[in-house]
Amino acid sequence: MRDSLLTAARRALPVMATLTTLSGLAQAAPVKIGLLETLSGPQASTGQSFRSGVRYAIDKLNAAGGWNGQSVQLLEYDNQGGPAGASDKLKAAIADGVQIVVQGASSAIGGQITEDVRKHNLRNPGKEIVYVNVGAEAMELTGEKCNFHHFRFTGNAQVRTKALVAGMKQAGTLGTKVYAINQNYSWGQDVERAVVDNAAAGGYQVVEKTLHDTNKIQDFAPYVSKIVASGAETVITGNWSNDLLLLMKASKAAGLKVRFGTVFLDQPGNVANAGDTAIGHFIAHAFNPEAGGAESTRFVDDFKARTGHVPVFVEPQAVFGLEMVAEALKRTKPQGDALDVNAFAKVLEGTRIRTPMGEVSMRAADHQVLMPMVVSMVTKDAKYKADDTDMGFKPVKLFTAEEAAAPVQASCKMQRPD
Amino acid sequence: MDTFVFALLNGVIHGLLLFMVSAGLTLVFGMMGVLNFAHASFYMLGAYFAYTLQGIVGFGAAVVLAALLAGAVGVAVERWFLRRVHHHGHAHELLLTFGLSFIIAETIKLLFGNHPVDYRVPASLDFAAFALGSQQYPAYRLLMGGVAIAMFAAIWALLTRTRVGIVVRAAIYRPRMAEALGHNVQLVFMGVFGVGAALAGLAGAVAGAFYTTNPNMALEVGVMVFVIVVVGGLGSLGGAMLASLLIGVITSLAVGIDRSIADLLATFGARDWAEGIGGLLTLKVSSLAATIPFALMLLVLLVRPRGLMGEEA
């Protein structure tokens, strides 16, 4: 009863959003980019972060002239935080003429979209669509599920963990006993595997591994007891949202002295809410303004001028991803008056741009982006403060795209169109 | 042994916290027959009220005021909303509270944003109560447990030992008779609803500082609270207490069990067979910890639909 009402209520929202964007349809078909993001429900804040990054990049693309003399249109769809909603909204997007689908929050949703896109393209030759993945980091998306029309513009579990381990080892805080605690779905399981895989390189032993339900647990005290019992010095976790915050708060309350190696500590609200608990913890992220030079400052200032805040969390990676899309669009000639998606995808495969963090390029073999990774630590002397606190992320080490890269997975057998 | 003691203590305290929220829900249901979907929203309101007031009046006073404010909102909801739709029946009341829960959540998002706010345990309460082995136990958790127990005792005494309690109980079982005897039944209902909301607000104000205060906290705790009320028996305060403790302790202990059904089958020499099948048989109990309460609810509904301590329908 409650659920069906809930979905009914949520369903009404995206329809309205679509209607408002449809009003700009009058002129001859411009390229349509569909953002299929979690814009309502408990994880809406993550989806909205992706959205602000994507909007910024599209605005910039249009300010530079758009494509084929027309502005590129951004249509937004609310996937309601689940694969089923994403599948529904993908159909709606295709019906609206969207050729490029963008999504980032949750690998579970990403897994659904990439499969749906693959099937659609098989069944509708000549009307292909391409999936621009700006945040789903599970390995399978560039592994078993890899397909020609999926492009990942963010790291993945192996890339993040490798950078995190190397950065923390270099900072001398990794220790020899590591505990892996993760959310029990594709992404969390991949991080757990990556922690085990990196044991030799990091010179540590994985004392214990835990998988738990995703964003359903309120009380992390029992898990912290387990960490204490294991004698771990470092906890590596791919947790995001409440699962990360509650885990850190529970550790603090139990007086647990461990370092956390994280991927999503820079989500807005985390540092403020964790308070001093956050100090000394690490993150592997795509961008830290302090790690770049003048170009970084320019990007941060421009982003701030347009959106009102410094780019954090997943915003930079979404911007860089869409900048690569823009670059590839620029180099794709229109066929008739329209965009040939296969031709665009072939250009995208070889796209290379410079971001404030360094060279970023797409790897054609599995469509995994090769991007620099920054490992940062929360301190009080960081240049850019997080969440209006006196703390911020101080870069420890900037890895170039080559250093951060993880090898192509053997399971990726990509079928290319002729 | 240390680990076991901690797991038990963690479970009991978390259970007590869940009780604080579910007490109001079960109380209102028992008295008015209204299943209040907005109940967890009062929990969230309590946390946000306390967060806002904390800077002005200090933590302790903020918690008390937050509970009172949440209660006041509850009273207003009963007086100007629920009472109007009461004669249309329970379905309308249910839908009303359901809609209300959305309005409250969206209002919070508008005012405070989508991200967790900076509401934390004050430094003066942020210390370890005791340590066992290498693990400390936060004093604030004990405080949360203490508040819950005090609350349980207070309601219990109020309902069974005072004149007010007699009137309230009379108004529930025989509302017309109580009215004929000169008691203002409408006022009693309003009071009960307000007290229920205040209890949830108190729980939110206390727990919001320890966990997180964000616009989803009503959703997070709401589902579990319904499970507790169903398991304990709708309308039974004692049942809610029992079910809260049960769910708290079971979840906490389950986290520590890294065993699967395959391990159990190994005693019969069937491990290889079980691992060959995989799936549910090789799933560790610890990874299912958050699912166990729902399995418990299913079990209770199947074998004892009225709940552990619910009254015979």
Q: Are A245 and A45 in contact (CB under 8 A)?
A: no
Q: What is the nearest CA distance from B271 to chain A, expressed in angstroms? A: 21
Indicate the pLDDT class of residue A11, thresholds 50, 70 and 90: low
Task: Of A34-48, A118-132, B277-291, give the lowest mean pLDDT range.
Answer: B277-291
Write the pLDDT tens digit of every residue in B108-141. 999 998 888 888 888 888 888 888 777 788 899 9
Question: In chain A, pLDDT over 70 holds for what percent of residues?
Answer: 93
- Across residues B232-256, what is the average pLDDT? 90
Indicate the pLDDT class of residue B4, thresholds 50, 70 and 90: confident
pLDDT at B225 over 80: yes
Indicate the pLDDT class of residue A20, thresholds 50, 70 and 90: very low
| Minimal Cβ distance to B10: which of A48, A211, A222 | A222
C-alpha dihedral (B264, B270, B273, B279), degrees to nearest 10: -10
Write the pLDDT tens digit of every residue in A198-214. 999 999 999 999 999 88
Please say whether the dihedral angle defined by the alpha carbons of residues A153, A158, A161 and A163, taken in this order, is positive or negative.
negative
Single-letter code of the amino acid located at B254: A
Which of B244, B264, B215, B245 shows the shortest CA–CA distance to B25?
B244
- Across residues B175-198, what is the average pLDDT? 89
For residue A381, the Cα-to-chain-centroid distance in whole angstroms is 27
Angle at A192 between CA A188 and CA A193, to 5 degrees: 120
Task: Of A14-18, A398-402, B52-56, B259-263, give the lowest mean pLDDT range.
Answer: A14-18
- Across residues A132-150, what is the average pLDDT? 94
Provide, as residue numbers in chain A, all residues whose Cβ is less than 8 Å from the Cβ of B14. 218-219, 221
Q: What is the pLDDT of residue A7?
A: 53
Indicate the pLDDT class of residue A91, thresholds 50, 70 and 90: very high
Mutate to test the interface with A, among B21, B22, B120 (most CBs of A within 10 A): B120
SS3 for chain A is: CHHHHHHHHHHHHHHHHHHHHHHHHCCCCCCEEEEEECCCCCCHHHHHHHHHHHHHHHHHHHHCCCECCECCEEEEEECCCCHHHHHHHHHHHHHCCCCEEEECCCHHHHHHHHHHHHHHHHHCCCCCCEEEECCCCCHHHHCCCCCCCEEECCCCHHHHHHHHHHHHHHCCCCCCEEEEEEECCHHHHHHHHHHHHCHHHHCCEEEEEEEECCCCCCCCHHHHHHHHHHCCCEEECCCCCHHHHHHHHHHHHCCCCCEEEECCCCCCCHHHHHHHHHCCCEEEECCCHHHCCHHHHHHHHHHHHHHCCCCCCCHHHHHHHHHHHHHHHHCCCCECCECCHHHHHHHHHCCEEEECCEEEEEECCCCEEECCEEEEEEECCCCCECCCCCCEEEEEEEECHHHHCCCCCCCCCCCCCC
Interface of B with A in 175-204 (CB under 8 A): none
Q: What is the nearest CA distance from A16 to chain B, expressed in angstroms? A: 17
| Average pLDDT in chain B | 88
| Average pLDDT in chain A | 89
Q: What is the pLDDT of residue B47?
A: 96
Please say whether the dihedral angle defined by the alpha carbons of residues A181, A187, A191 and A193, taken in this order, is positive or negative.
positive
Question: In chain B, pLDDT over 70 holds for what percent of residues?
Answer: 98
Higher pLDDT, A408 or A4: A408
Q: What is the pLDDT of residue B313?
A: 55
- Which residue does chain B place closest to A47, by CA atoms? B114
Q: What is the pLDDT of residue A140?
A: 94
CA distance B174 to B162: 18
Q: What are the backbone dihedrals phi and psi of residue B34, each rounded to the nearest 5 degrees, phi first?
A: -100, 120
Q: What is the pLDDT of residue A23?
A: 44
Write the pLDDT tens digit of every residue in A382-399. 999 988 889 999 999 999
- Which residue does chain B place closest to A214, by CA atoms? B290
- Go through chain A and tell me how many residues it has: 418
Q: Are A177 and A229 in contact (CB under 8 A)?
A: no
Q: What is the pLDDT of residue A187?
A: 92
Q: What is the pLDDT of residue A16?
A: 47
Provide, as residue numbers in chain B, all residues whose Cβ is less than 8 Å from the Cβ of A226. 3, 255-256
Q: What is the nearest CA distance from B168 to chain A, expressed in angstroms? A: 30
Q: What is the pLDDT of residue B173?
A: 78
- Across residues B152-171, what is the average pLDDT? 90
Count how many Cα atoms sit within 13 Å of the Cα of residue B7 in the half-sphere of its side chain. Answer: 22
CB atoms B10 and A184 under 8 Å: no
pLDDT at B285 over 60: yes
Pick from A116-125, B116-125, B182-191 the range whose average pLDDT is largest. A116-125
Q: What is the nearest CA distance from B79 to chain A, expressed in angstroms? A: 25
Indicate the pLDDT class of residue B312, thresholds 50, 70 and 90: low
One-character DSSP codes across B216-265: THHHHHHHHHHHHHHHH-TT-HHHHHHHHHHHHHHHHHHHT----HHHHH
Pairs across A and B, CB distance < 8 A = 121
Task: Of A156-160, A374-378, B289-293, give the lowest mean pLDDT range.
Answer: B289-293
pTM beyond 0.90: no
| Minimal Cβ distance to B138: which of A228, A245, A254 | A254
pLDDT at A240 over 70: yes
pLDDT at A14 over 70: no
CB atoms B220 and A212 under 8 Å: no
Higher pLDDT, A41 or A313: A313
Q: What is the pLDDT of residue A24?
A: 42
pLDDT at B86 over 80: yes
Strands A73-78 and A100-103: unpaired
Q: What is the nearest CA distance from A87 to chain B, expressed in angstroms? A: 24
pLDDT at A194 over 50: yes
CA distances from A247 to A88, A195, A218, A273 (A): 34, 18, 9, 12
Higher pLDDT, B265 or A295: A295
CB atoms A219 and B214 under 8 Å: no
CB atoms B255 and A270 under 8 Å: no
pLDDT at A325 over 90: yes
- Across residues A126-143, what is the average pLDDT? 94
Provide, as residue numbers in chain A, all residues whose Cβ is less than 8 Å from the Cβ of B290. 212-213, 216-217
SS3 for B93-154 is: HHHHHHHHHHHHHHHHHHHHCCCCECCCCCHHHCCEEEEECCEEEEHHHHHHHHHHHHHHHH
Question: In chain A, pLDDT over 90 holds for what percent of residues?
Answer: 71
Q: What is the pLDDT of residue A392?
A: 93
Q: What is the pLDDT of residue A298?
A: 94
Angle at A380 between CA A377 and CA A382, to 5 degrees: 65
Task: Of A62-66, A111-115, B126-130, give the lowest mean pLDDT range.
Answer: B126-130
- Across residues A73-99, what is the average pLDDT? 94
Provide, as residue numbers in chain B, all residues whose Cβ is less than 8 Å from the Cβ of A272. 116-118
